[in-house]
């Protein structure tokens, strides 16, 4: 050390950096920035270190029964996922497509080519690890109020979902003690393959092509193209391209032209900037609060269309106050069994704005 003190500052840094190449944490110890930041307190680590691994490292102790989970599900989850996890209205279905044999074999038969017994791939068909379900519900659900479930509620909701898939019986209570046993019944537990070449940067791909340059073998047939009726499915493409340059967007409001359009397509078509989604008006709030996920402006999706609500309460004197309350606290039974979750994130003023907008005709 004494000899280093005789060197210039620059030399110390260089010397430290060089030694870091061979001696592990020497850089961290010697770099002039190594003390930047501060130690995390145990409470801070506990608050944020919420991940649960497949070996259940990180899983907090707790318990939740299927019926406890069902109660939470009906209030906080069913509106998006369906009462039985079957919904594809808002999100892809969670439950369905697995069998008792799958539970026995640990492989979901329905994932094989042509063997599917459900219209869509469900979460339970794919997921191999029960820790994944627990971790995700705990960190990210409910969708509009993540991380608000208690540990026992997460156990309960997980148990409820697993009971719908018949992984656990209807009277089951899931706990940190028995979850490893439940893992052994996951329908697709043996369905995952780790394919290292597509994980490592220096791996070799699994699909091979050769860079033929001349008279290469091709199949001259056009195997797939967009049908004419889909011409404007993504709006007017002309309005999605620049108004100058070598090409123009095709005018998809009209049938394809018979011949070259020539410079006649040069007429500038610039679309006025779209009003930003969100904002202080009622429609903006519908968007930022994801109301339109369940309510169409003119149609029922999961819940009634805004036009239907408007029509139903037309002429009712306290309609605005009533709807303001319903928006804030949610409810069920008026329009069907699927409950609308409480919208705690909405301020009273915003709920009032939306209620007023509905009463005024939802236009």
Q: Which of residues 135-174 bind other proteins (CB under 8 A)?
A: 135-136, 139-140, 143, 146-147
* Binding of other proteins by 21 (CB under 8 A): no
Instruction: Examine residue 45 and tell whether it contacts other proteins (CB under 8 A).
Output: yes
Among 12, 13, 27, 75, binds other proteins (CB under 8 A): 27
Site string for other proteins, 197-216 (x = CB under 8 A): -xxxxxxxxxxxxxxxxxxx
Using CB under 8 A, which residues numbered 67 to 86 contact other proteins? none
Q: Which of 275, 314, 310, 308 is nearest to 283 (CA)?
A: 275
Query: Which parts of 311-340 interact with other proteins (CB under 8 A)?
Result: none
Question: Is 254 among the residues that bind other proteins (CB under 8 A)?
Answer: no
How many CB atoms sit inside 10 A of residue 127's CB?
Answer: 20
Tell whether residue 299 is a contact of other proteins (CB under 8 A).
Answer: no
Coil/strand/helix, residue 27: helix
d(CA 363, CA 5): 77
For residue 121, how many other CB atoms are within 10 A of its CB? 16
- Among residues 2, 100, 177, 258, which is the contact residue for other proteins, using CB under 8 A? 258
Query: What are residue 173's DSSP bridge partners?
Result: 65
Told to check if 14 binds other proteins by CB under 8 A, we report no
Which residue, chain included where needed, has tokens 């193209």?
Answer: 225
Answer yes or no whether residue 239 interacts with other proteins by CB under 8 A.
yes
- The phi and psi torsions of 3 (rounded to 5 degrees) equal -65, -35
| Residue 91 structure tokens | 């999100």
Tell me which of 2, 264, 276, 317 binds other proteins, using CB under 8 A. 264
| Minimum gap (Å) between residue 22 Cβ and other proteins | 12
Query: In the set 11, 19, 51, 321, which binds other proteins (CB under 8 A)?
Result: 51
Cα gap 221→198, rounded to integer Å: 32
User: Mapping DSSP to helix (H, G, I), strand (E, B) and coil, where does residue 235 land?
Assistant: coil
Nearest partner of 106 among 168, 183, 186, judged by Cα: 186
37 alpha-carbon distance from chain centroid: 33
257 vs 246: CA distance, rounded Å: 18
Choice between 66 and 127, CB closer to other proteins: 127
Identify which range of 20-28, 153-161, 319-327, 335-343 contacts other proteins by CB under 8 A.
20-28
Q: Which of residues 103-122 bind other proteins (CB under 8 A)?
A: 107-109, 111-113, 115, 121
Angle at 214 between CA 212 and CA 216, to 5 degrees: 60
For position 271 contacting other proteins by CB under 8 A, the verdict is yes
- When asked if residue 185 is in the footprint of other proteins (CB under 8 A), the reply is no
By rule CB under 8 A, what count of residues binds other proteins? 125
């Amino acid at each position: 050390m004494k000899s280093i003190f005789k060197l210039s500052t620059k030399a110390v840094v260089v010397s430290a950096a060089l030694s870091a190449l061979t001696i592990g944490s020497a850089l961290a110890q010697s770099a002039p920035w190594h003390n930047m930041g501060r130690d995390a307190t145990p409470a801070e680590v506990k608050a944020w270190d919420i991940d649960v691994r497949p070996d259940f490292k990180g899983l907090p102790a707790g318990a939740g029964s299927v019926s406890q989970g069902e109660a939470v599900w009906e209030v906080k989850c069913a509106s998006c996922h369906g009462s039985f996890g079957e919904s594809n209205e808002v999100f892809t279905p969670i439950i369905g497509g697995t069998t008792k044999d799958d539970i026995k074999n640990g492989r979901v038969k329905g994932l094989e080519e042509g063997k599917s017994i459900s219209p869509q791939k469900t979460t339970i068909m794919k997921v191999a690890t029960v820790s994944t379900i627990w971790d995700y519900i705990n960190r990210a659900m409910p969708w509009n109020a993540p991380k608000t479930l208690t540990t026992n509620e997460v156990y309960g909701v997980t148990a409820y979902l697993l009971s719908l898939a018949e992984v656990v019986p209807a009277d089951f209570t899931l706990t940190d003690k028995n979850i490893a046993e439940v893992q052994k019944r996951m329908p697709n537990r043996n369905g995952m393959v780790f394919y290292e070449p597509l994980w490592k940067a220096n791996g070799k791909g699994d699909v091979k092509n050769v860079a033929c340059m001349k008279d290469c073998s091709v199949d001259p047939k056009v195997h797939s193209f967009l049908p004419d009726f889909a011409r404007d499915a993504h709006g007017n493409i002309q309005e999605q391209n620049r108004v100058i340059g070598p090409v123009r967007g095709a005018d998809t409001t009209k049938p394809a032209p018979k011949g070259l359009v020539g410079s006649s397509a040069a007429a500038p078509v610039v679309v006025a900037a779209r009003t930003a989604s969100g904002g202080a008006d009622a429609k903006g709030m519908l968007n930022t609060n994801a109301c339109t996920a369940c309510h169409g402006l003119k149609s029922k999706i999961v819940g009634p269309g805004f036009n239907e609500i408007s029509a139903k309460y037309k002429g009712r004197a306290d309609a605005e106050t009533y709807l303001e309350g319903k928006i804030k606290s949610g409810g069920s039974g008026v329009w069907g069994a699927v409950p609308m979750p409480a919208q705690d994130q909405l301020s009273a003023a915003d709920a009032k704005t939306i209620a007023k907008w509905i009463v005024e005709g939802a236009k």
